[in-house]
Amino acid sequence: MYASPTGASVQSPDTRHDARAEAFAGRRLTWKSIRDVISPEAYANPTGRGLYYFVRDLIVFAAIMVGLYFANAWYLVAPLWILSGFAISALFIVGHDACHGALFKNKRLAWWVGQTAMLPSLHAYNQWSYGHNRVHHGHTIQLEGDFVWRPVAPEAFRELSWFKRVLHRIYWSPVGAGLYYMNEIWARGMLLYTAPQAGALRDKLIVVGFALAVSAACIYAGGAAPSGFDWSAGLWLWTKMALVPFLFWNYCIGFTVYVHHIHDEIPWKGRGEWTPAYGQLFGTINYHIPRFLNFFFHDIFIHMPHHVQVKIPFYNLKLALEDIKQHYGPYVAERNSMFRDYLHSTAHCKLFDAASGRWLPYSAAYPERTANLSPA
């Protein structure tokens, strides 16, 4: 126990984790038994509602892009950049749910809407679904299986090259979420790798073609002038309307995935201890976020129900969470402190000891240095 800022005695993260783990260990749970408590209403996905969110988010994104095209003053461009990252996130979540089969019953419609919604984030529908749907969801917080924000053990960190150790420190710092996602997930998993899945290469070529077409259009629209082509003006418009919004989007998604799966209360497990039920109940924390942010993020921070059953559309996640809480309340983690938790986790969750299930600082990789500092 420790004292909160108000003076009240509350449970420490380790105590909360132990209580949840102890309760879990006393019951024989299966992934199916958890899914079965979700009411049929949570699966309702009328086509019109999915199309409404898709069109709404497209209009918002287009309006922000128009604003960026005409804006020149920094005090207009800067907030529009932030909003552009949010708008790309909103469209991506629509594509994300379409790819899971949560928004539409018609697979052809799901592909058209999903791939279109993912274009601003430069993600290929079938390429992305292979790593996300099969690997991440199939092995959530499993040390050998889940590749997204996979923890590193102290001894493994020590064996890394100096460059990879530096890169790890950057990635796992408060400023590293976007760099991690852009390099480790998007560049390596989306751009350089082609998934062994039907449609993956086709969808990747669509995205590459879209990126080249948008880049050419921005450069031409910005640089064309009666007096001759102005490359600096063209590159500035491309930077303003394409590059920076994409960079900010990477920070939005990198931050989002990090807070979903990295926390004192989320102990990753090795293959021998991990079960699907464990991964879906313990693999994420549900965050209640401000209404303005939720306009763009579509309740995706109510994340446990999504991992329990990917067929639930984002607009029904709160309903599904209430169903789960009625039966498995002790396992449900809900918080209102997303940004504070992010800063806490990026300060304390650096390395992970699988034997104890504890997150550790970088000093754990060099115990001899700590020993040398101890009094004789």
The model's pLDDT over 296-349, given as tens digits with 9 standing for 90+, comes to 999 999 999 999 999 999 999 999 999 999 988 888 889 999 999 999 999 999
| Alpha-carbon distance values, 248 to 10, 188, 253, 330, 333 (Å) | 36, 18, 9, 36, 28
Q: What is the per-residue pLDDT for 24?
A: 57
Q: What is the per-residue pLDDT for 228?
A: 87
By three-state DSSP, how is residue 69 classified?
helix
Confidence class for position 25, pLDDT limits 50, 70, 90 = low
* Mean pLDDT across the chain: 90
Mean predicted confidence (pLDDT) in 136-164: 94
Show contacts of 9-17: CB within 8 Å, 24+ apart.
13/263, 13/264, 13/265, 14/264, 14/358, 16/265, 16/333, 17/264, 17/265, 17/267, 17/357
Q: β-strands 286-287, 334-335: how paired?
A: parallel
Single-letter amino acid code for the residue at 304 = M
Q: What is the per-residue pLDDT for 17?
A: 53
Which pLDDT tens digit goes with each residue over 206-254? 999 999 999 999 999 999 988 889 999 999 999 999 999 999 999 999 9
Confidence class for position 15, pLDDT limits 50, 70, 90 = very low
Q: β-strands 351-353, 334-335: how paired?
A: unpaired
Q: What is the per-residue pLDDT for 21?
A: 58
Q: What is the per-residue pLDDT for 361?
A: 94
Mean predicted confidence (pLDDT) in 364-372: 75
By three-state DSSP, how is residue 286 classified?
strand
| All residues at 6 or more sequence positions from 44 whose CB lies less than 8 Å from its CB, including other chains | 313, 316
Which pLDDT tens digit goes with each residue over 46-79? 999 999 999 999 999 999 999 999 999 999 999 9
Query: What is the rounded CA–CA span in Å between residue 333 and residue 287?
Result: 8
Q: What is the per-residue pLDDT for 370?
A: 60
Q: Which helix (H) or strand (E) holds 308?
A: helix 304-308
369, burial (CB in 10 Å: exposed 0-12, middle 13-18, buried 19+): exposed
DSSP string, 110-130: HHHHHHHHHGGGT--HHHHHI
Query: Could you tell me which of 185, 205, 299 has the C-alpha nearest to residue 251?
Result: 185
CA dihedral (304, 307, 309, 310) positive or negative: positive
Share of the chain above pLDDT 70, in %: 91
